[in-house]
Structure 1
Amino acid sequence: MTWTAAAAMLPWEARSVPVPTANAADAGIIVNALGGLDDPNRDSGGGLVPEFSPRVLSEAHASGLTAVNITLGYVSGPDDPFEASVRDIAATDARVRAHEQDLLKVLTAGDIRRARAEKKIGLIYGFQNGAMMGKDATRVDIFANLGVRVFQLTYNPANQLGDGSMAPENRGLTPFGREVVARLNECRVMVDLSHSGEQTCLEAARVSKAPISINHTGCRAVTDLPRNKTDAELRLVAERGGFVGIYFMPFLNASGHAKAEDVVAHIDHAVQVCGEDHVGIGTDGSVSQIDDLTAYQATLAKEIARRRAAGISAAGERPDTYPFVVDLRGPQQFHKLAQLLQRKGYSSGRIEKILGLNFLRYAETIWGS
């Protein structure tokens, strides 16, 4: 199925009257605020840089995806964080150039629109750990100049910027963390508080001169796990003009076995707390589904063991908890989510906001058009 044919099937495309709250030219834009273009059926060798295989690119087009924030740079491990991050950016740049008919590096909100117009997938370069800052906040300038547009301050543990969601002290931002936030504001880079501890998130939202984001999370009021955000965090981020993306992860259900209905429940709660203009999706997954779940379980068990040994795992992740939603995956995941939201009574305009327009608006605020 071609991208055009798939997009034509999407319910928010097939409407007779333009949505008054959205620019008609932006209708149908789908932005995954945190995801990937990797093939989960192939061994990546532990690296973050995706290979952009023909299957993945084909399925990304078929899904209707316009742009995705991909994780580059250091997250954990023995490598030097700064060197590893620069190396990943360079490697990804090279692969984007090799696939320029399919991919476009996103630097501004206008590039998301350009990706859709040119039938390409926009790649937003993002970090999920601020460890590459070392002790020098001016490194923000280096990475901004290299095209990094999303900067998540912490992963699950604490780092030199602040406490992550699994840091028991919940101490909030460090003085250096505040310095980095200020520098990110100056360089017009998104400040992302996914994976952060509650105090780190609240303090960042208060001290940042620009709205902040939580690009991939769930709602703790629905499922009480550390990787999910409290209503206080969600509300403050929204009140200050920010963005919240709901993920397709096991943390959406206390059993660890999340379903599509859980995704809808967390989106609905976030909309009630934040308002419909501040909620989107950040699936934390790929558009290519796993072909053999039985074989994948062995790989998953090894990955969970590695994460636990490295001290970066989160409460709620186990060898039997898939890092995706079993009945909301593959190229039809956005289409299916739209249908589920429609059945819940969401209007086409609200669905369009959640699937992409809210992130686009937020991106314009931070990066410019």
Structure 2
Amino acid sequence: MTRDLTIVNALGILDNPNAERSRAAAARLEPGSDFITIDERTIADAHASGLTAITITLGYTVGDVEPYAHTLHEIETWDRLLAEHPDDLTQVLEAGDIDRARAEGRVGVVYGFQNGLAIGDDLDRVAHFQRAGVRVIQLTYNQANHLGDGSMAPGNRGLTPYGREVVAALNDARMMVDLSHSGERTCLDAIAASRTPVSINHTGCRAIVDVPRNKTDEELRLVADGGGFVGIYFMPFLSPTGHATAADVVAHLEHAIDVCGEDAVGIGTDGTVTGIDDLDGYRATLAEHVAQRAAAGVGAAGERADTLPFVEDLRGVEQFHRLVDLLEQRGHSWSRIEKVMGRNFVEYAARVW
């Protein structure tokens, strides 16, 4: 039945994590579009999953590279990747492009950042990024930057004065202000400062699991009240054990709907469509990966050597089909399922872009 749906992943990854280059990059904690693999399997799995559109992460997120130059390079890389796969991928610049992608049988790709550091001290870069096709800018990653505090920053200092200027510039450029990963005060300040609806494209509900990467009911409610969007991820933070299941994803979706209403909630998996084939091998290297993130200061509370960064029984090409089935089993109407699986994001995008 997912073939009859618009399915939008508000934050995800287009990659084949089983490819040698992608596996090596993950092991080295080297994020970046140069290391992803868009091969026949990536494309085939995306189509088989029913995916209509996905917001991918490009640009600077973490690491020692120069943020602005790295971000420009990443944009060029994705422009090239889209040009190499014109029959299967298409860039999304406005809300109508998502419906166009579905009609054409292609996967729409939204350019998004997970850290606003590349803006630097030059507000003109916001408009430049918009002209380059970027449509989503997340203000912070887990750590603090010059715009505000991330969810793991101990000060919880809120949006900085310059951060407020950046929010205004994003509003002027009609770009999404994404508050995923932000600290609580930064999130609340940005909601209040923004003249256009804001989003939290990938998060969980802190009322269910009290970890910093999840959002409080106040944050969720205020985003929805302003006409914004909340995407629930498929991440370990959905369970107090760190071993999240499909049932946990449903529980967080249902709580978010209770808080925000059914018109503001969707999905932002924060993962790939193509599943990892060798889970035992992956687990063997996971401890090193988590330790590297912690040493670099970019990890989050709830990440442990034994916590998979995805939901094991909600992964691979069947993940969206499976979620739809679970929501139906829980008694959710088809109209609500259509909203959660993609239409809410499309409607939100139309209000911003």
State the TM bucket, normalised to the shorter chain: over 0.9
Does residue 61 in structure 1 map to residue 47 in structure 2? yes
2:8 corresponds, among 31, 41, 49, to 31
The letter for the 2-side match of 1:351 is I
Partner of 1:286, secondary structure, is coil
- Does residue 1:192 correspond to 2:178, yes or no? yes
Q: Does 1:40 align with 2:17?
A: yes
Q: 1:286-301 to 2 correspondence within 5 Å?
A: 286-301=272-287
Classify the secondary structure of the residue corresponding to 1:112: helix
Three-state SS of the structure 2 residue aligned to 1:349 is helix
Q: Which residue of 2 aligns with 1:247?
A: 233
Shift of 1:138: 1.5
Alpha-carbon contact 1:72-1:125 (below 8 Å) kept: yes
Q: CA RMSD in A?
A: 1.0
Q: How many residue pairs end up in the alignment? A: 344
In structure 2, C-alpha distance between the alignment counterparts of 1:281 and 1:85, rounded to whole Å: 25
Please give the per-residue CA displacement for 1:45-83, whole angstroms capped at 9, x wherever unaligned.
324213311101100000000000000000111110000
Give SS of 1:245's match: strand
Structure 2 equivalent of residue 5 of structure 1: none
What secondary structure, in the 3-state scheme, does the structure 2 residue paired with 1:34 have?
A: coil
From 117, 135, 141, the counterpart of 1:149:
135
Q: Which residue does 2:265 correspond to in 1? A: 279
The separation in 2 between residues aligned to 1:227 and 1:355, in whole angstroms, is 22
- What CA distance in whole angstroms lies between the structure 1 residues aligned with 2:326 and 2:352? 31
Deviation of 1:191 after TM superposition, in Å, equals: 0.2
Q: Is the 8 A contact 2:142 2:152 kept in 1?
A: yes
Deviation of 1:36 after TM superposition, in Å, equals: 0.8
Q: Secondary structure at the match of 1:171?
A: coil
The 5-angstrom pairing of residues 75-154 of structure 1 reads: 75-154=61-140
SS of the residue aligned with 2:221?
helix
Contact in 2 for aligned 1:163/1:197 (Cα 8 Å): yes
Which position in structure 2 is the counterpart of 1:347? 333
Residue 302 of structure 1: how far off its partner (Å): 2.5
CA-to-aligned-CA distance 1:215-236 (integer Å, 9 cap, x gap): 0000000001100000000000
Question: Contact 1:256–1:317 (CA<8 Å) still a contact in 2?
Answer: yes
Partner of 1:21: none
Alignment partners' CA distance in 2, 1:278 and 1:299: 37
SS of alignment partner, residue 11 of structure 2? strand
Measure, in 1, the Cα distance between the counterparts of 2:101 and 2:337: 20
Distance 1:263 1:355 in 2: 13
Counterparts of 1:118 and 1:304, CA distance in 2: 40
The aligned residue for residue 179 of structure 1 is 165
4+ residue runs over 6 A deviation: none
C-alpha deviations, 1:259-312, integer Å up to 9, x for none? 000000000000000000000000000111111111011332232122111100
Structure 1 residue 34: Cα displacement? 0.3
CA distance in 2, matches of 1:48, 1:33: 19
Taking the aligned partners of 2:132 and 2:287, their CA distance within structure 1 comes to 35
Residue pair 2:17, 2:37 contacting (<8 A) in 1 also: no
Distance 2:250 2:333 in 1: 14
Q: With structure 2 as the length reference, what TM-score do the two structures score?
A: 0.96
User: Letter of the aligned partner of 1:48 in structure 2?
Assistant: G
Describe the SS at the equivalent of 1:96.
Answer: helix
Distance 1:48 1:101 in 2: 24
Q: Distance in 1 between matches of 2:152 and 2:284?
A: 25
Q: Is the 8 A contact 1:51 1:95 kept in 2?
A: no
Deviations, residues 83-139 of structure 1 (Å, cap 9, x unaligned): 000000001100110011110011001110111011001000000001101111221
> Could you list the per-position Cα deviations for residues 198-227 of structure 1 after superposition, in whole angstroms to 9, with x for gaps in the alignment?
111111011100000000000000001100
- Return the alpha-carbon distance in structure 1 between the equivalents of residues 174 and 350 of structure 2: 10
Partners of 1:177 and 1:54 in 2: how far apart?
41
Distance 2:39 2:282 in 1: 19
Q: How does 1:9-24 map to 2 (within 5 A)?
A: 9-10=1-2, 13=4
% identity of equivalent residues: 61
Which residue number corresponds to residue 321 of structure 2? 335
Distance 1:319 1:139 in 2: 38
Whole-angstrom CA distance in 2 between matches of 1:299 and 1:100: 35
Corresponding letter in the other structure for 2:12: G
SS in 2 for 1:199: helix
Q: Which runs of 5+ in 1 are unaligned?
A: 1-8, 14-27
Are 1:225 and 1:315, in contact at CA under 8 Å, matched by a contact in 2?
Answer: yes
Q: TM-score, normalised by structure 1?
A: 0.92
Unaligned runs of 5+ in 2: none
Task: Report the 3-state secondary structure (helix = DSSP H, G, I; strand = E; otherwise coil) of the residue aligned with 2:316.
Answer: coil
The answer to whether the 8 Å contact 2:112/2:135 transfers is yes
